[in-house]
A and B are shown apart, each in its own frame.
Chain A
Amino acid sequence: GAGVSQTPSNKVTEKGKYVELRCDPISGHTALYWYRQSLGQGPEFLIYFQGTGAADDSGLPNDRFFAVRPEGSVSTLKIQRTERGDSAVYLCASSLTEATDTQYFGPGTRLTVL
């Protein structure tokens, strides 16, 4: 079946602009994670959804970052007033039910803030 998909694959924006990054998890997966990965580093946890609710958003770096999952499937990561330091690959992962289940990652969205 289809894996986790993320759109767009690449996003170039200017400093101060607003961006939205989309994640389509594997159908039926209730758990969804967002991560940020900088060059040469491992993924850094941002937020975890169980169903429609954010069960853990302790990794969001500041209030410019926000994520939603209104129907318990597709999720959108929203970044306001982007800064050059936000440039990274944003990864989404989903798992069947709980956080301990195997996570399946999408290919990521490469965000570049000029």
Chain B
Amino acid sequence: EDQVTQSPEALRLQEGESSSLNCSYTVSGLRGLFWYRQDPGKGPEFLFTLYSAGEEKEKERLKATLTKKESFLHITAPKPEDSATYLCAVQGVGFNKFYFGSGTKLNVKP
């Protein structure tokens, strides 16, 4: 069965301290890997879609990369407003459902 594992479960950073979040996945043919941000009490907000190994996408302080087994979300010089839970999801070829990881809860302190 398709699976997604995210690490670490929680991450505390000082403002400006860069780091990376990991998403390891097992899927029989990757159709897409998706990153979302979720703030407390809200629905997930789309960040990136990656389709093939080697692909990279950037948005402000965030950069997502993809290999055949995992994806990283790199956060450069984070700010307190980057504090949120970051979710990773995969979709397999020929399937409609998405499998989500449990997320990484990021806390950036000023």
A-side residues, CB < 8 A to B, are 4, 33, 35, 40-45, 48, 55-56, 58-59, 91, 93, 99-100, 102-108
The dominant DSSP class at the B interface is strand
Give min CB distance, A62 to chain B, whole Å: 17
Across-interface contacts of B91 in A (CB, < 8 A): 99-100
One digit per residue, 1 when the CB lies within 8 angstroms of any chain A CB and 0 when it does not, for chain B 32-62 equals 1010100001111110010000000000000
Q: Are B32 and A100 in contact (CB under 8 A)?
A: yes
Q: Which of B31, B49, B96 has the most C-beta atoms of chain A within 10 angstroms of its own C-beta?
A: B96
- The 18 sampled A-B contact pairs (Cβ below 8 Å) are A40-B102, A41-B103, A42-B87, A42-B89, A42-B101, A42-B102, A43-B87, A45-B99, A56-B95, A100-B31, A100-B32, A100-B91, A103-B34, A103-B46, A105-B43, A105-B44, A107-B42, A107-B43
Q: Are A44 and B96 in contact (CB under 8 A)?
A: no
Chain B's interface size range is: 20 to 34
The dominant DSSP class at the A interface is loop
Across-interface contacts of A105 in B (CB, < 8 A): 36, 43-45
Task: Report Cα–Cα, A110/B98, bound state, in Å.
Answer: 21
Across-interface contacts of A44 in B (CB, < 8 A): 100
Across-interface contacts of B102 in A (CB, < 8 A): 40-42
